Amino acid sequence: MYVESDHPGYRTTTEQVLSRTDIDVRGKTFLVTGATSGLGEETVRSLARHGAKIVFSARNLAAAEKVVAQIKAETPTADVMYYKLDLSSLASVKAFAEEVKASGIQINTLICNAGILSYYSYSKTVDGFELQFGTNHVAHFLLTRLLIDNLINNSPSRVIVVSSLGHRRGPVRFDDYNFEKGPYNGWEAYAQSKTANILFASHLNKLYASKGVEAFSLHPGLISTPILNRVSEEDILRLGYRDEEGNLASFFKTVPQGAATQVWAATAPELTGKGGAYLEDVHVSEAVTEQARDPAAAERLWVLTEELVKSYL
């Protein structure tokens, strides 16, 4: 059973983070993946409200237009734009990165927010990766690698990778990351992708912090976002997420509370020099498994993923 943390940051909102006098995002550019709903949408809305320049990715362009219209209605002076991106296709990732580079956009922070939960049936990306591993990890790895020079040129800069407490359910299966040997367990596949997020951020920081690019991973908390719709009613009741009357458990965060940690990770001055850390509830956390903090595993994953995407680099 999930238990609400007693840390004061548990209920902190994006607005509370960005209203701090020592945080000023005006004139800074944030690139956010998956911003047409949930945490990503709240992230771009809150940052735009405080004067940041926003670039976000979307699979559904109609949904992207709706988000832009809502942001402009709330903040008429908002500087916000989007490009199409399908993270289940490395060709789409490459095309997106090329568009961003060709536009001349100077990125201060990359927030790898987009993610999927798809655990009932086995499926692959167009490039042949197990869907959750390919979308949640491989695509974001490639995107970051393609934009790393931009981030270095605009240092100090940050890369924020949204992971999950769900990483605790499993490591990266280096000998079978595609789950082709034996029965498929979608929860373990999701856990693998979230462990990969943490390892990726850790090794990215090791390689690039000296060049001015710091990386962080995080658990946003449990939030009622569209990703929850992929969990069966049976599992929702079993996990205690909702009671039989349909009421959400008290430990669920609102979307502004859930997005607060990634907004804090992207903006807080007190995190400078702490790259590689895992965050939750707007603080540095140690609630990460040994398998997700293993530097040898982080390096091994980096080498593996570079091999998987080498034709797009």
Backbone phi and psi for residue 307, each to the nearest 5 degrees, phi listed first: -65, -40
Q: How deeply is 293 buried, as exposed, middle or buried, from its count of CB atoms within 10 A (0-12, 13-18, 19+)?
A: middle
Long-range contacts of 95-104, Cβ-Cβ distance < 8 Å, separation of 24 or more = 96/57, 96/143, 97/142, 97/143, 97/146, 97/147, 98/146, 100/31, 100/55, 100/147, 100/150, 101/146, 101/147, 101/150
Instruction: Say whether 190 is catalytic.
Output: yes
The answer to whether 215 touches 159, Cβ cutoff 8 Å, is yes
Please give the sequence-ordered ranges of beta strands (E in DSSP) within 93-207, or none if there are none.
Answer: 109-112, 157-162
Which residues pair with residue 162 across a beta bridge?
Answer: 218
- Name the 3-class secondary structure at 161: strand
Backbone phi and psi for residue 247, each to the nearest 5 degrees, phi listed first: -85, 130
Which residues pair with residue 160 across a beta bridge?
Answer: 111, 216
d(CA 211, CA 156): 8
The one catalytic residue in 190, 208, 241, 278 is: 190
Nearest CA to 136 out of 119, 157, 160, 161 is that of 161
Supply 52's token pair.
């940041």
Pairing of β 283-285 and β 278-280? antiparallel
Cα distances (angstroms) measured from residue 289 to each of 81, 139, 196: 37, 23, 12
The answer to whether 92 touches 86, Cβ cutoff 8 Å, is yes
Active site residues: 190
